[in-house]
Each structure stands twice: as C-alpha cells, then as structure tokens.
Amino acid sequence: MCRDCGCSLGPAATRAPLAAAPSTPGRTDTIEVITAILGENDRVAAHNREHFDAEGVLALNLMSSPGAGKTSLLEATIRALDGRLKVAVIEGDLATENDADRIRACGVPAVQITTGNACHLDAQMVHDAVHDLPLAGLDVLFIENVGNLVCPASFDLGQHRNVTLLSVPEGDDKPAKYPVMFRAADLSLITKTDLLAYITEFKVERAHAALRQIGFGGETIELSNRGGEGFAAWLGWLEREVAAQRERTARGATARPAIQPEGAAVHAAGRPTR
C-alpha cells in the first residue's frame, strides 16, 4: 500500500535505521525496512507523549478523509471555547500553509507540516513541530493529520486520543469500507449534519450501525462543523478529556490511543490483505 502511495519514501524512511535483510537475486524485501520505520516511530511517539504529559497537555489526533471538515471544526471549536481552554494546533498537509493560516487567524498558535509525498504524519514530524509551539500552559494540542482514511491509523504520534470525522457528503458506509481507521477512534464525529436535509442518501442510523458492525466502542457525536446543534456535546467531551489528562498526569500515568495492528501489518507487508 504505502510502497505505492509513496509514504514509505517520506521523511520517516530517511530517518529510521534500516534493518539488514538477506539479499536474493530477483527479489525485493521491504518488510524489514518498514518494520524498522514503525519501531523508530513508536520510540519517538513515546518521547512526544512524555513531553505532553510533563506539561499536562492533552494531545488529540484528528483523522478523516480530505474535505471532511477538520479545519472548519477547529475554527468553530476555538470560537466556541472562547478562551476556556488554551489550545494550539499542528496542521498536516502535503503542501501549502492554508490551514495553519486559518487557525492563526483565530488567534491560536499553529505550525504547518508539509509532508510532500507522505500521506500521513509521523512522530518525528510532530516532534519537530512541537518545538515551535508554547507547550507550557496549553490545555489541548490538536494534531490535524493528513486527509486520508487509511495510513494515519497505523502511526502513533504521541497523542492520547484519536478523533475520526465522518462527513455527511462522504456517505454513511465509510466505516464499513475503512474499518481500520474508524476502529482506531476514541471518538467518532458525524460532521456536516446541516447538509442532511439536502443529501438524503446519508442515513445517520446506517452510519451508527456501520460503526457498531466494525467493533467501534467509543462515543459518537453528530454535529455541524460550524457550530450549532451537537457542539455542546463535543465541547463537553473535550473538557472531560482535559480533566482526565490532568488527573492522569497528577498520578504519573498516561494514555495511549489504539494503534491498529491491521494497518501496521499492511505497512510492514507492503501489500493489501485479501
């Protein structure tokens, strides 16, 4: 998979120590290389989480397909919080500073990561970006991952929780089609619900059923990305998670999200499962 999309050739590949593999004429071995990349990524992710825990910061990884509304959700969240929580944002895209500029316009510090050909963020990218943010005094660090419903679920960034967005225009069957991504979520947000009156093909009940079918065990909240109905539940979830992070750090504990073994296995094998 990532051998084709290019992410195994991104920055993580050049940084990770590559394990030696036996050479056989006419055969290409990739498993050892990708396994080494994942192992190095996990080491850096644990280091990132130590940084966040030391400062009492809750780190959230936002994942979705392109255009599901992650940045719009963050803009509306910043406005709705109105200073109740101090936040910062790391933005991930293949190119441009567009999303980081939008967040900065809301008065919040933001760092843009441009990944080039990499279709997900990795822990080292986040580590580098964190050094350009004022972690001290923050309550929440939002990490907006690259728009992609496959690879981000397989890479630990050092976050504490995963939030996956499913937007109404995408269709209610996306959890069934991309189970690894949605199974990795601690919270699932059904977004752009203001469009339900116009996109009648999307049935909220079917989306909930698809999430249950793949074994998603977290909470689901329905909301419009720009505020309104459902936003109080989202803000309440954030505040509860911030309180839980403070309680964990006070007793020297931490939380780690559910990195999906199926996705990691596909990365290691470099081929789709059947």
Give me the phi and psi of 113, to 5 degrees please.
-105, 120
Could you tell me if 72 and 192 are in contact, meaning their C-beta atoms sit under 8 angstroms apart?
no
Return the closest-CA partner of residue 121 out of 5, 11, 265, 260: 11
Residue 92 belongs to a domain: yes
pLDDT at 229: 75
pLDDT at 8: 43
pLDDT at 35: 64
Q: Give the other-Cβ count within 10 Å of 43's Cβ.
A: 13
Enumerate residue ranges in the chain where pLDDT < 70. 1-37, 261-274
CA dist 248 and 53 (Å) reads 9
pLDDT at 227: 73
Provide the domain count of the chain. 1
Residue 207 belongs to a domain: yes
Within 13 Å, how many C-alpha atoms sit on residue 139's CB side?
15
Q: Give the other-Cβ count within 10 Å of 101's Cβ.
A: 12
Q: Give the other-Cβ count within 10 Å of 259's Cβ.
A: 18
Report the C-alpha dihedral over residues 102, 158, 192, 116, rounded to 10 degrees.
60
Could you tell me if 151 and 267 are in contact, meaning their C-beta atoms sit under 8 angstroms apart?
yes
Q: Give the other-Cβ count within 10 Å of 116's Cβ.
A: 11
CA dist 73 and 49 (Å) reads 24
pLDDT at 13: 41
Q: What would you report as the CA-atom Rg of the chain, rounded to the nearest whole angstrom? A: 19
Residue 226 structural domain = 2-269
Residue 176 belongs to a domain: yes
pLDDT at 265: 59
CATH number where 47 lies:
3.40.50.300
Could you tell me if 14 and 118 are in contact, meaning their C-beta atoms sit under 8 angstroms apart?
no
Residue 187 belongs to a domain: yes
Residue 274 belongs to a domain: no
